Amino acid sequence: MFKAATVVGKEPFSRALGQRMGNELVNELRRKPDACWLFCAPGNGIEDLVAGAFDVTGTENFIGCTTDGEISSAGYSAASAVLAGIATDQISFVVSSVSNIRGDGNFAGKQLARALPPTSRHVQLLSDGLTGNGSAIANGMTSVLGAQIPISGGAAGDARQFKQTWQFIRNKVLSDSAVAMGMAGNFKVGTGVRSGWFPAGIPRKVTRAQGNVVYEFDGEPALTVYRKYLGPLASKLPAVGVQFPFGMVDESLRLGEDAILRAPMGLNEQDGSVTFAGEVPEGVTMTLATGGLDENLLEASSEAARRAMADLGNDTTPAMIFFYSCMARKILLGHRTGEETSRICSVVGRGVPVTGFYTYGEYCPSRRDSGCQLHNETATVTVIGLPSSAI
């Protein structure tokens, strides 16, 4: 038995709204869920919203976070709350959390993973998008679980205020934290990730960097190089930064289809450094990238879904979609933002429930058994499937 559903609330956040959404979800599932996800805009009343939904759904396996836009089976929405749930006897769930991730991210990831059962076959990861090193968290989790266990999820947002994000586990509202949900049982997972961005500059080698801060490209201050890349658009920094990320090129100096993108998040006029939304190893070669036409981004979203379905394999029925997309894509797509979810559902199946959000970073393996990576500027799709004989 497996049933998934999503409900949306657009009223001011309150305990009553959380309770109403919880009741609607229980009615959709025809029983209390075994696992829940709550994604919502930042704002007043979050604690009450979480408490109300948690009280009614009655499951300890409850995680979520604030976002830059919410995704449900009804499509894309903003300034809303989305509650998703699964009721099943095919999958067991366990949640975990870790705080103070701005410290040692690798250690935090290991702690998060060690609190999950070794039988976990898939993990959903939600972390603070403004603190901590998401790449290190993903690496720490992978070192415990193994690269063969797909980890997917997103970094929490705060509607582009860039002040503070929130993470939820059960009825607790946290910050500077990461939460995870491990899944074990009779199911399969397919993942896919694509960006739709292409190179727009001469590749440059990172000659000095630490963590997610790049100080020099080819011996020049990183900020100077960035401004040279942008030309007249440099006067619009930092606002224009998310539209012009950097991509790590391959040995042929090309921005390959599995390239890792990094979005600039901060500029330091004093030391000439650029802070990115993910780790940048010293010694890698990077180039400026651009998204170009809306259609490039939308086709990449469709391709991410196709890759997830191919990864899921034959004789498997898709049962739930998790879609995590970068907030930069939403900026570029504008009024076409809702088409991303629509295209993914067209590939996977119109009747398959979907949830997720617009993120400050996306967690997903680039390929099967490659281990989880933190991406920027991408569309990532995870499909939970059941053996056809189990439906």
pLDDT per residue over 296-355, tens digit each?
899 999 999 999 999 999 889 999 999 999 999 999 899 999 999 999 999 999 999 999
Rounded Cα distance, 214 and 382, in Å: 31
Which of 7, 13, 74 is closest to 37 using CA atoms?
A: 7
Class of residue 240 by CB neighbours under 10 A (exposed 0-12, middle 13-18, buried 19+): middle
243 vs 251, higher pLDDT: 243
Sheet with 62-66: list strands edge to edge.
2-9, 81-88, 35-40, 62-66, 167-169, 172-174
Alpha-helix residue ranges (DSSP H) falling in the chain? 15-29, 46-57, 105-114, 134-145, 222-230, 294-312, 327-333, 338-348
* pLDDT exceeds cutoff 80 at 253: no
Which of 94, 71, 79 is closest to 42 using CA atoms?
A: 79
pTM: 0.95
Per-residue pLDDT tens for 180-235?
999 999 999 999 999 999 888 899 999 999 999 999 999 999 999 999 999 998 88
Residues in the chain: 391
389 vs 25, higher pLDDT: 25
Buried b (16+ CB within 10 A) or exposed e, 88-107: bebbbbbbbbbbebeebbbe
SS3 314: coil
Which of 181, 212, 153 is closest to 62 using CA atoms?
A: 181
- Residue 76's H or E segment, with its range, is strand 75-77
